[in-house]
Chain A
Amino acid sequence: MNAIDTAIRAAAASITVKDLTKAYDPQTVVIPPMDVELKAGEFTVVLGPSGCGKSTLLQMIAGLERVSSGKILIGTREVQDLEPKHRGCAMVFQNYALYPHMTVFENMAYSLKVSGTPKAERAERVAAVAKMLGLADYLHRKPGQLSGGQRQRVAIGRAIVREPAVLLFDEPLSNLDAQLRHDMRVELADLHRRIGATTVFVTHDQVEAMTLADRILILNKGRIEQFDTPKAIYHNPASVFVAKFIGAPPMNILPVTGDGAALRLADGQVVANASLTGTYQLGIRPEDIVLDGKTEGHAVKAALRFREDLGSHSVLAADLGGSTVRIATPFGADIADRLELDLNFPTSRLHLFDAATGRAIPGAFGAQ
């Protein structure tokens, strides 16, 4: 661990958002009142579909967008009315936004130059960051002479050379090709492990969210759907939205009706015992459905529609009471010429959601 790591770890601050709202005019509310606290040193991924307000949230933390009302605290300091440079945030942009006419060194040193850091210290800090990011040999090149991955690293270097209290990423990997995106993901995770900066990372890619995050903040139309660890989000989604957003293929959601003793599908088949009445939405992950096996749950019959062999596993799509269910099975499961599948839904793997609000109903089938 060198000096710059220690400095960033020491600078890392929590972010507290209180009653934050953003509206361009009374009709277009981007973010309704939001309260959330991101811990110091934590890697938070803000995940959501496009237009959910995640970039707006990030830009409000950065100071590039004004807040309509509410407070943002970095550490214990209220920053919502401060200029970006006084907030101690640094940002990595989607298209890198490097200064094309400056060398890599000048790009990384620019913020230090603006803040009046002495020349010798500038050179020292840039050298330390460049070494950490493997850019030492490229300091005299211009961004135009670098590859996409290298440019991304320069953008990260430019952000961390200031030893920011908060490091913000705005979909930084979406311009890279698949292989490079994977490599950069690993590098980012490694970097965060080493420098421990408070990080907010905005993306619409669930793989990035699941692999990078300490905690994931899922936004839908400006509202927080769930804020939890990747594991909790995957295994205990708080709403239908989260259940369908996370996982590939996503969780199956089936409409069910309770008659006081059992939950029935639209075609009358019983999927679970529960003393519930009314309509609900039942969720089960494709990999949790058991094909041909016996579990403590109920067995149902479904009509096979098609199968996709993906190498590591196969995904079957079947028709069950008018809805499509997807089942993940080991690759090459022997189902070649069967039109009807015997499915088993393990009760411990079932999720129940309110039909109207889409919120999860915990403990519907006993402890989960």
Chain B
Amino acid sequence: MIENARSLNIAASVILLAGMLYILGPLYLTLATASQSYEFLLRNGLAWYPGDQFFNNAARIFTETRIPIQMLNSLAVAFSLAIATCILSFLSAYAIVYFRIRWAGVAFALILATIMLPVDIRVITTYQVASNVFSPVNALLDVTGLNGLIAKAFGAPVQLELSVLNTHFGLIAPLVAHGTGTFLFRQFFLTLPKDLFKAARMDGAGPVRFMFDILLPLSRTSFAALFVLTFLSGWIQYLWPLVASSTPDMQTAVVGLARLLPDSDGEVPDFPMIMAGAVIVSLVPLLMIALLQRYLVQGLVLSEK
């Protein structure tokens, strides 16, 4: 429905303006603050207009903080997360759509359930497992009474221990367990002609060959879309990297940014430098979207062209 009434136009413009203000206001304040000096902040409080100290502040991020190395951590986490999610999602969706598996429906439902159980909800149990990845095995041995038998036979029960806290693997692995990608690929596969698989079989291509020769090239845009989305979500993760890493050199940039706030009360935080850090940290995802936004849209509308 298209209305031409003048009053409606004005109302729409006002709403749009309010929305823009809501989004752009904080962004403006970030940029303005990042370009003022610490002294300016101490004298005037909130920076309402930009200054000329941005490059100074940015340089201090590189010389005085661990943000650069933490950005490398973020890059490693986001990149590995995106790659691992793409590969796992593609494979699981392939299995669910193209093979006659009796429990495929159940498997898919379980995978979808992970969307409703993000790390933020299960952070405590995830932490417990990450601090000793064998704890479920130990618990199982205890519950089933096997450990009692083992203790009798060998003198001591089995207590395996391996912590992945404070490692890149520990940072990434719990985040990979997320069903959105599988769902995305499944929906995409269902839009493909279902005889494609049969045609490939008639042409002599087995399941692996079909995957590499037919399905993979067709899924390019879905891959790009999922890659961008997962990369972004990996880059902006806060809670899990916060609890899973304890040394500054293992923390991610977003956690590092938050840690730039002074620990003691009463001290005025160095907001210009922190905001400059925020701008620098945001550049990577911004670049990512700028480069791949075309695929993002194509991949999400789920049509093969």
Contact = CB atoms under 8 A, between A and B. Distances in A.
Are A and B associated in one complex? yes
Interface of A: 59, 62-64, 83-85, 89-91, 93-101, 110-111, 114-115, 144, 158-159
Contacts of A111: 202-204
Contacts of B214: 99, 101
A93 B198 contact: yes
A98 B217 CA distance: 14
A97 B198 contact: yes
Nearest to B196: A97
Given A114-B209, A144-B305, A97 B201 contact: no
A5 B80 CA distance: 54
Interface of B: 193, 195-196, 198-205, 209, 213-214, 217-218, 304-305
Nearest to B198: A64
Contacts of A115: 204
Given A101-B218, A144-B305, 5 more contacts: A64-B198, A84-B204, A95-B195, A97-B195, A101-B214
A223 B303 CA distance: 41
20 contacts: A64-B198, A84-B202, A85-B201, A89-B202, A93-B193, A93-B195, A93-B199, A94-B195, A97-B195, A99-B200, A100-B218, A100-B304, A110-B203, A110-B213, A111-B203, A114-B209, A115-B204, A158-B199, A158-B203, A159-B202
Instruction: Count chain A CB atoms within 10 A of each CB in B199, B213, B217 and give the residue with the most.
Output: B199
Contacts of B202: 62, 64, 84-85, 89-91, 111, 159
Contact of A85 (B198, B204, B213): B204
A59 B199 CA distance: 11
B203 A114 contact: yes
Main secondary structure of the interface of B (DSSP, over half): helix
A138 B196 CA distance: 21
A156 to B, nearest CB: 13
A91 B199 contact: yes
Nearest to A93: B195
Contacts of A158: 199, 203
A298 B213 CA distance: 69
Contacts of A59: 198
A146 to B, nearest CB: 14
A99 B196 contact: yes
Given A99-B214, A101-B217, A101-B218, A114 B204 contact: yes
Contacts of B217: 101
Nearest to A109: B203
Contacts of A62: 198, 202
Contacts of A89: 202
Contacts of B203: 85, 110-111, 114, 158
Contacts of B205: 110, 114
Contacts of B304: 100
Contacts of B196: 97, 99
A46 B305 CA distance: 35
A64 B197 CA distance: 10
Q: Which of B198, B202, B305 has the most C-beta atoms of chain A within 10 angstroms of its own C-beta?
A: B202
A97 B218 contact: no
Q: 5 closest Cβ contacts across the A-B interface? A: A85-B204, A97-B195, A111-B203, A97-B199, A93-B195
Contact of B193 (A85, A97, A110): A97
Which residue among B198, B201, B203, B204 has the maximum number of chain A CB atoms within 10 Å of its CB?
Answer: B203
A84 B195 contact: no
Contacts of A96: 193
A158 B218 CA distance: 19
A94 B196 CA distance: 11
B209 A84 contact: no
B201 A84 contact: yes
B281 to A, nearest CB: 37
Q: A90, A94, A114, A115 — which one has the most chain B CB atoms within 10 A of its CB?
A: A114
Contacts of B305: 144
A111 B305 CA distance: 23
Nearest to B204: A85
Nearest to A91: B202
A129 to B, nearest CB: 14
B131 to A, nearest CB: 46
B85 to A, nearest CB: 23
A62 B198 CA distance: 10
Contacts of A83: 201
Contacts of B213: 110
B200 to A, nearest CB: 8
Contacts of A99: 196, 199-200, 214
Nearest to A159: B202
Contacts of A95: 193, 195
A111 B213 CA distance: 12
Contact of A91 (B198, B209, B218): B198
Contacts of B204: 84-85, 111, 114-115
A100 B202 CA distance: 17
A95 B198 CA distance: 12
A90 B202 CA distance: 6
- Which residue, of B195, B209, B304, has the highest number of chain A Cβ atoms within 10 A? B195
A83 to B, nearest CB: 8
B218 A64 contact: no
A126 B195 CA distance: 22
